[in-house]
A = this chain, B = another copy of it.
């Protein structure tokens, strides 16, 4: 376990707890490279104060610095992601150098978001790249140009349970409890609703998306509201829904059902729960 922190206050609390337990918690200092969430900004004197607080005694030991350029998800071009990647790298490497310059240890220099990990022009000085959604990809990543739709390796298997033909709706058993409430593509160039609809082989079907969800029901329709022949998708038809955000959708399920195309099961992988 490595503890991530961004204040002297937290550093002292972790060290106190470590001493009480008779152990040293390995600790990373979070660097705020993009104003997106927590972390110490590059140049903030707090960085040195935290480093020294962790270095002062037993209970915690400084292992390095870490950042996550989560704002890369909001970029609208590959050039913007590339610039964000360099900003992320420069922030975390600069902080590592500042700590080392003050005689403090900084073996780990950790960066990464899937977009910046994909488009970075270099990782000079970085020792670790964390890119979680890289494993599956999703519609948000496809919308950012990070992957193709065909690269998305996780989906929700849904079954048609009814129709509302006058509305052009196909009703499935996969509502937001199965898909998550994540609408990460809502502000992208292509809004994929609650997910893109594919056949069981993973090939997108016409221009169908999950246009709305109830708790247990998915509502599939043409993305532009065009009429569709709902009878082409009889009750019992299985479909794959590609998710906006692989993390949010996977978190709604206890396990992954692993297939090699189709629906024949190769394995069941229990999901790590909690965060």
Chain A contacts to B: CB under 8 angstroms: 5-7, 9-10, 13, 32, 35-38, 70, 161-164, 167, 171, 175-178, 180-183, 214-217, 219, 234-236, 247-248, 251-252, 254, 273, 275
The closest CB in chain B to the CB of A248 belongs to B181
Partner of A275, one of B162, B171, B177, B251: B177
A7 and B235 form a contact (CB under 8 A): yes
- When all copies of this chain in the complex are counted, the total is 2
* A10 CA / B24 CA spacing, docked (Å): 61
Partner of A36, one of B9, B178, B214: B214
Chain B neighbourhood of A7, CB < 8 A = 162-163, 235
A72 CB to closest chain B CB (Å) equals 13
Chain B neighbourhood of A164, CB < 8 A = 32, 38
Partner of A234, one of B6, B9, B38, B236: B9
A24 CB to closest chain B CB (Å) equals 20
B178 and A181 form a contact (CB under 8 A): no
A171 and B38 form a contact (CB under 8 A): yes
Partner of A216, one of B35, B161, B234, B275: B275
Chain B neighbourhood of A177, CB < 8 A = 251, 275
Partner of A161, one of B36, B38, B70, B234: B38
The closest CB in chain B to the CB of A251 belongs to B177
- Pairs across A and B, CB under 8 Å, 21 listed: A5-B161, A5-B162, A6-B162, A7-B162, A7-B163, A9-B235, A10-B162, A10-B235, A13-B236, A37-B214, A38-B161, A38-B164, A38-B171, A176-B182, A178-B275, A181-B181, A181-B183, A215-B247, A215-B248, A215-B275, A216-B275
The closest CB in chain B to the CB of A254 belongs to B273
* A181 CA / B59 CA spacing, docked (Å): 37
Most chain-B CB neighbours within 10 Å: which of A162, A167, A176, A273?
A162
